[in-house]
Amino acid sequence: MRLLENTLSRFVESGQIAGCAAKVIRGGETLFEGSFGYADREAQIKMSGDTIFPIASMSKVVTVVGIMRLYEQGLFRMWDAVSEFLPGFKNPTVALEKPDGSYEIVPAKGEVTMRQLFTMTSGVPYAGSDTAAARIQNEKGDEYLAAHGGVMPDTQTYCNLVGQLPLAFEPGERWMYGFSIDVLGAVIEVLSGQRLGEYLKQHIFDPLGMADTGFFVPEEKQARIARLYRINEGMEPQKRDYPARTPVFESGGGGLFSTVADYSRFAQMLLRGGTLDGERILGRKTVDLIATDHLTRAQQATHSWDTQRGYGYGLGVRVMANPEIAGINGSVGEWGWDGAFGNWFCVDPKEDLTCVYLTTNLPGDHYRFIPRLMASMYASLD
């Protein structure tokens, strides 16, 4: 895969990113594995095969797999109200925005469902997004931290508090990337009786041999964490401040650390229909359900990110529907997700292929890099 190697090298040599690592597996054989640039430019620590990355929203797919194990056990249905598990979501409201910038809080017409959390159609925002509901969430979060000495609440407490805040729109009305998968992480805790990190370790990480994946990085591994760099103007290193023990709030939507090797095993499990090396994590039909486009036509009309052009959206994952619209020389049915720091992975059943790409960018600027990576990767296939 000389084309892919050249492309990733160019990302670093051109000064666009500090470093990256990637692994491509096809037909069970490693086609490409490489590390480029620096995990820490200031300390002159090069990227390597065991570099640990904060993977941000690539955590979401892990959480989805975790909760779908509970779906297989019959512990919830897709159309169940979230309030059956998290009472904070009972009697939701909506922050209706007006043309003058003000808003009105009104009762929602229906409750948020589990399916809407999976598909990002719940109306539960991220605090940083540009909606009245997000601004309210941000304000209430600041108030909570001020009242509790800056200490975050635990996962269930926090998600129940979020459930009491107004939604950005009526549940199911449209697609909006938000806090939904974190809420699913809290539901995992309710249904399993375990902390989210403990549950994922027992049922996913340990069976797959993902020894460097979790919500914290032990002290003896901290030096292996790649530093984040703000890349808008120059290459500004960010402060290294990562948990060395279990955090109070475990973010199923964005809190995991992992390596290219670990996450490649996770991706291969998905490609193989939920089983890898004799360890069954999910059933084949459950993986098919995750990787199916679930959006209605109206919801798809609001699924408008540049990086989602040509894709539908499944259960926490993008799903390729129209490569010609995406401008990608890839496959219909390719699926996966990415993370805020430029990270990205794909599962391509048609080509029997997975790719994991981890990097350290702020912002991620996926549309600047990922189409180039995909073009080189797919052009290299026989």
pLDDT of residue 75: 98
Burial zone of 285 (CB within 10 Å; 0-12 exposed, 13-18 middle, 19+ buried): exposed
Q: What is the mean pLDDT of residues 82-102?
A: 94
pLDDT digits (tens, 9 = 90+) for 269-281: 999 999 999 999 9
Element (H, E) at 286: helix 284-290
8-state DSSP, 205: I
- 265 shares a domain with 370: yes
Q: Which residue, 166, 192, 218, sits at the end of a domain? A: 192
Whole-angstrom CA distances from 195 to 75, 265, 301 are: 17, 23, 37
pLDDT of residue 226: 98
- 186 shares a domain with 74: yes
Q: Which residues touch 257 (CB under 8 Å, ≥6 apart)?
A: 52, 53, 54, 55, 212, 213, 214, 215, 216, 217, 225, 242
- 20 shares a domain with 111: no
- 241 shares a domain with 147: no
CB 327 within 8 A of CB 371: yes
Confidence check: pLDDT of 240 > 90: no
How many helices (H) and strands (E) the chain has is answered by: 13, 17
Give me the domain span that covers residue 57.
Answer: 2-61+195-201+210-379
- 225 shares a domain with 364: yes
- 176 shares a domain with 78: yes
Tokens of 271: 């490609």
CB 1 within 8 A of CB 24: yes
DSSP sequence for 304-316: --GGGTTEEE-SS
- 139 shares a domain with 181: yes
- 8 shares a domain with 127: no
Please report which confidence band the pLDDT of residue 203 belongs to, taking 50, 70 and 90 as the band edges.
very high
pLDDT of residue 234: 85
Q: For residues 135 and 126, what is the distance between their CA atoms, to the nearest angstrom?
A: 9
- 266 shares a domain with 134: no
Nearest to 296 by CA among 135, 140, 158, 121: 121
- 147 shares a domain with 26: no
Whole-angstrom CA distances from 55 to 28, 254, 279, 359, 367 are: 24, 7, 24, 9, 17
Q: What is the mean pLDDT of residues 110-115?
A: 98
Q: Which residue, 140, 158, 192, sits at the end of a domain? A: 192
pLDDT digits (tens, 9 = 90+) for 212-234: 999 999 999 999 999 999 998 88
Confidence check: pLDDT of 130 > 90: no
Q: Which residue, 192, 226, 252, sits at the end of a domain? A: 192
Degrees to nearest 5, angle at CA 274 with 272 and 275: 70
Percent of all residues in the chain with a pLDDT value above 90, rounded to a whole number: 95
Q: Are strands 29-40 and 353-359 parallel, antiparallel or unpaired?
A: unpaired
pLDDT digits (tens, 9 = 90+) for 306-362: 889 999 999 999 999 999 999 999 999 999 999 999 999 999 999 999 999 999 999
pLDDT of residue 101: 81
Query: What is the CATH classification number for the domain harbouring 358?
Result: 3.40.710.10
- 87 shares a domain with 46: no
Counting the structural domains of the chain, the total is: 2
pTM over 0.95: yes
- 93 shares a domain with 186: yes
pLDDT of residue 348: 98
pLDDT digits (tens, 9 = 90+) for 158-199: 999 999 999 999 999 999 999 999 999 999 999 999 999 999
